[in-house]
Amino acid sequence: MSPENASLRELSDALAAGKLSSVELTQAFLDRIAAANPRLNAFITVDPEASLAEARRADERRASGTAGPLTGIPVAHKDIWCARGWRTTCGSRMLANFTSPYDAHVVERFAAAGAVLLGKCNMDEFAMGSSNETSWFGPVRNPWNPDFVPGGSSGGSAAAVAARLAPAATGTDTGGSIRQPAALCGISGLKPTYGIVSRYGMVAFASSLDQGGPFAKSAADLALLLNVMAGFDARDSTSLEREPEDYTRCLAEPVAGASAGRPLAGLRLGLPRQYFGEGLSPDVARAVEAALAELRALGATTKAIDLPASDLAVPAYYVIAPAEASSNLSRFDGVRYGHRAAEYGDLIDMYCRTRAEGFGAEVKRRILIGTYVLSHGYYDAYYLKAQRIRRLIADDFARAFGEVDMIAGPTSPTVAFRLGAKTADPVQMYLNDIYTIPANLAGLPGLSIPAGFGEGGLPVGLQLVGNYFDEARMLGVGHQFQRVTDWHERVPPGY
């Protein structure tokens, strides 16, 4: 078994059988990071001493017979999750030297499961971006071609898993920031239903949209990770109090009554007309159509549906998200923590200089937009209208789920684009999330899995959107697709 390309289950079984130790496994991935990260810039912070200490504790736990499925397995965290004693930067100069005094709920959950914190991954500044080019620490590069972007904002996490620098990683998804980089890097990524994963300890961007989720090679691995990440947290007012569930339960049979030869028999997939028209590049369309043919061969049926309000998703999102960001980022003022300007005249001047120096151009743009749409005289014209559109989008999905079980389509309209290709045109950058944003506005779960390759040999992602709390079945469908395809097993050349 090659550890870097093994599934989480295979790694767990190898650790349980004593074929390798967590220390050996963690060291192997640390060596890969040391060799490849200078090229990819996927990690902001790596602390080998701390990671190996956690690995030793995991080995002791396995020896004592108290291990769980993920005990001893290294996991990387997007640098938006607070981790005690670790630098937590959000990819910003504003927090470049901030060391968190506490753990996020997600970090606590992985620690309780015995997972090893491998490092903190690079990201678009404060999760604002679709290409991972806005980070204060420099852009992340796509392992399939270092001249291209990995997607964003969780591009560091996606690139790390794609290049096999980590067997799994966490991310956050506000408008597609897990699914889009998963698609562009050729790995699997899941945005759960809003409220399933606690946001406590996640540095907030847009609180009504942000949701944490996992990256991994396969849908089966995502199910194991979600078993750890999901759970009620009283410290997060939006956390949902639900009975715990096993997200691996549908991996064998995602659809009731399905047969061995046709495991998806009875599954009704909706194909939104709005996702297959103008704007979808031909190479992505071909790969997605081939993936849909595979799903039909597995027994699924497909039906064209309409999501008429989805055309308004991007403009609605870029009113709501900046408005919430304007409020959330007001705490970064140089008073209590984070960057502070070295020279200033008075308190107001300190605020102004600190925020001017600490925030990058994209963050400033969104703060200004958000402040404008919330201001007196514009609230009704912009923010309230965007919230009404959000309701229409959720209603479209509700009607669609009266006809179909899941919605399928492309994750991104194109494959990865060149670094710098869209930085001068924010609107073109924003349109890269046109197929992922609607699920965030409605709070629905979304899954992206590898579905082939497009122009330049760059990966294409297939997106599945399910009804609320339908993660287990979505992951089961993704798993059945991955049983008959090997796109998720493909590794970028040189890794």
List the catalytic residues: 78, 153, 177
Contact 115, 71 (CB under 8 A): yes
Give the Cα separation of 283 and 286 in Å (integer): 5
Residues 6+ apart with CB under 8 A from 328: 204, 205, 206, 207
Query: In sequence order, which ranges of 263-360 are alpha helices (DSSP H)?
Result: 282-297, 313-328, 347-358
Q: How many CB atoms lie within 10 A of CB 368?
A: 12
- Of residues 200, 198, 157, the one with CA closest to residue 180: 157
Question: Residue 469: which region, alpha, beta or left (left: phi > 0; alpha: psi -120 to 50)?
Answer: left
- Of residues 6, 1, 49, 33, the one with CA closest to residue 165: 33
Strands 74-78 and 43-45: unpaired
Helix (H) and strand (E) counts for the chain?
A: 15, 11
Contact 379, 242 (CB under 8 A): no
Query: Which pair of tokens denotes residue 446?
Result: 């979304």
- Partners of 71 in the β-ladder: none
Give the Cα separation of 304 and 328 in Å (integer): 39
- Partners of 169 in the β-ladder: 76, 215
Give the Cα separation of 225 and 170 in Å (integer): 9
Query: Which pair of tokens denotes residue 178?
Result: 């897990």
CA distances from 134 to 1, 129, 190, 191 (A): 38, 7, 23, 22
Contact 318, 367 (CB under 8 A): no
- Alpha-carbon torsion angle 471, 186, 109, 153, nearest 10: -100
DSSP 106-144: HHHHHHHHT-EEEEEE--SGGG--SSS---TT----BTT
Query: Which pair of tokens denotes residue 271?
Result: 């194909």
